[in-house]
Amino acid sequence: MELRRGRRMPRGQLSALLLFLALAWLWLPAGGRRPPRPPPCPPSCSCTRDTAFCVDSKAVPRNLPPEVISLLLNSNKFTLIGDNAFAGLSHLQYLCVGTGMGTRGRHGEGGGTRRGDRAPRGGRATVSSHPRFIENNDIQALSKATFRGLKSLTHLSLANNNLQTLPRGLFKPLDILSDLDLRGNTLACDCKIKWLVEWLESTNTTVPAVFCSSPGQFEGQRIRDLALGDFQCITTDFVVHQVLPFQSVSAEPFTYASDLYVALAQPGASSCAILKWDYVERKLRDFDRIPAHSAVHCKPIVAQDQLYVVVAQLFGGSYIYRWDTAVDKFIKIQDIDSQKTRKPNDIEAFQIEGDWYFVIADSSKAGSTSLYRLNQNGFYSHQALHAWHRDTDVEYVENDGKPRLIISSSSQAPVIYQWNRGQKQFAPQGEVGEMLDVQMVKHFKVKRDQFLCLSRYIGDSKVVRWEGQRFIELQTLPSRGSMVMQPFSVGQRQYLALGSDFSFTHVYLWEEEKQKFVKFQELSVQAPRAFRYVPAADVQLLLAPSFKANTLVYRHVVVDLSL
């Protein structure tokens, strides 16, 4: 029979030919036939169409039969299961990765698990409708996306491994998971496991009791019995939000006409820089500058709907400016008596019985710290305080409803002045301890208690507490080279920033139970001269003026360690 190109075989002949070929194949001996192709299977595994049993694998096996329903891993050499490790096994229903009881001593009585917190001893490694527990694995870590794509998985055993934590949302891809076994692991019940407590409360998955291995206060407790309130997972951090490319020595935030501003003294740039907060870009931007050849402090005062800025200079006198809304700029309205204020250091502004005052600390031998009062025509000298003592700082405090000034000095311990309502002046009341050479004095309040922070350039800085008629020492902090010690609060947290010319700035956090500050964070600020907390809508800022480097703006962030 010859087939030629172009000629069509008759239909009857074609049928006869196909029948002949089929009969010929059947007559061949069995050895001559090609057997059916077995399903793909990695070298370390034994596979059927719907099961795979893998031993001594160096990683989660690839190229498993795509129709596999049960996967058992035994005596494997890997400790980490990464992302998408079981990709392509969309039909997988049973997955077991665990060890048998008694195979490793570290999971015994001293290994952090309880009697009864172990999966049952696995017998022969077989595949059935219920997963067995496979021996000799040492899985220590899982990726968040380890089980991605396993939409059909109903039974999962991770029992008797060495898992100390589980990534948040690990079981989220497992839509129909009905049974989960985590027994026999060394789970640490810290913030990283908090999500598991939440998941156990809401899931319908059957999970045998699993217990905490650590920390000490939770060791031996059932994870399901832990309350979410048991986890202290909220912490905070200060991160750099903005770098201002200039040096500065003071920072004073203020609000005027519903906008937020900051005044910074820049002796190197011969100005007081006024920056405005951009609520869209969430940054400080240049707004205006006031000439100041040797500015050490620029103090804004918003009083009687007017904006004033007191500009204190080391040389050339000090001045008061007012914002003129008619021309939209600052105009100088007043000189400050240069005979009294020769070498200003600090300015504080406050109200007493409805009247506005500001006080300038003077550090010259011949000058005096002076109090000024606002009237209809401007600020005028009201009282001379603490003459010839080279004052370094002044702080306004109200204790027991009584206004007080605390003035620190290079020549004596900080002095307390109390307001006399009849004379409308401050009168000396006493001293704060016997601390000399205090560079800065700042106060803070916790509940009903008043505290002072006293920073020293040589020697230790101190925290003292007001006890009725005097301050008593509460805490000593090492502070070589410190020019600034600023307490500030953000929400319910009380912080303390202690700067240094020779090392990092240390941020401390107040612990109410211990009644003291504890170290919280280090900030890299060169020669800081002030720290100012600035709440800017939903952003909490900490300004850090530097005498030798750029001015830094830190952002206070709240961190949930359980996420």
**pLDDT tens per residue, range 471-488:** 899 999 999 899 999 999
Residue 287: partners with Cβ closer than 8 Å, 6 or more residues away:
261, 274, 275, 276
In the predicted model, residues of the chain with pLDDT beneath 70 are 1-38, 98-136
**What is the reported pLDDT for 38?**
67
**What is the reported pLDDT for 562?**
93
**What is the reported pLDDT for 63?**
87
Burial of 277 (0-12, 13-18, 19+ CB in 10 A): buried
**What is the reported pLDDT for 499?**
96
**What is the reported pLDDT for 474?**
94
The helix or strand, by DSSP H or E, that contains position 166, with its residue range, turns out to be none
Residue 198: CB atoms within 10 A of its CB come to: 12
The pairing of beta strand 259-266 with beta strand 250-256: antiparallel
**pLDDT tens per residue, range 200-228:** 999 999 999 999 999 999 999 999 999 99
Residue 267: partners with Cβ closer than 8 Å, 6 or more residues away:
247, 249, 292, 294, 295, 296, 314
Query: ∠ CA(291), CA(294), CA(295), 5° rounding?
Result: 70
What is the pTM assigned to this prediction?
0.79
Q: Rounded to whole angstroms, how far apart are CA atoms 292 and 301?
A: 17
Q: Are 134 and 71 in contact (CB under 8 A)?
A: no
In DSSP notation, 246-299 reads S--SEEEEEEETTEEEEEEEETTTTEEEEEEEETTTTEEEEEEEEE-TTEEEEE
Q: Rounded to whole angstroms, how far apart are CA atoms 261 and 38?
A: 76
Q: Rounded to whole angstroms, how far apart are CA atoms 360 and 382?
A: 12
Q: Residue 127 has which token pair?
A: 């595949």
Quickly tell me which residue has 């699993």 as its tokens.
210
The pairing of beta strand 318-324 with beta strand 329-336: antiparallel
Query: ∠ CA(541), CA(544), CA(545), 5° rounding?
Result: 135
First to last CA, the chain: 79
Smallest CA-to-CA distance from 154 within 106, 91, 84 is with: 91
Domain(s) labelled CATH 3.80.10.10 in the chain stretch across 43-100+135-232
Q: Please name the CATH architecture into which domain 43-100+135-232 falls.
A: Alpha-Beta Horseshoe (3.80)
How far are the Cα atoms of 336, 396, 398, 528 from residue 352, in angstroms, in the given order? 21, 11, 10, 31
Give the dihedral of Cα atoms 242, 247, 251, 255; nearest 10 deg.
-60
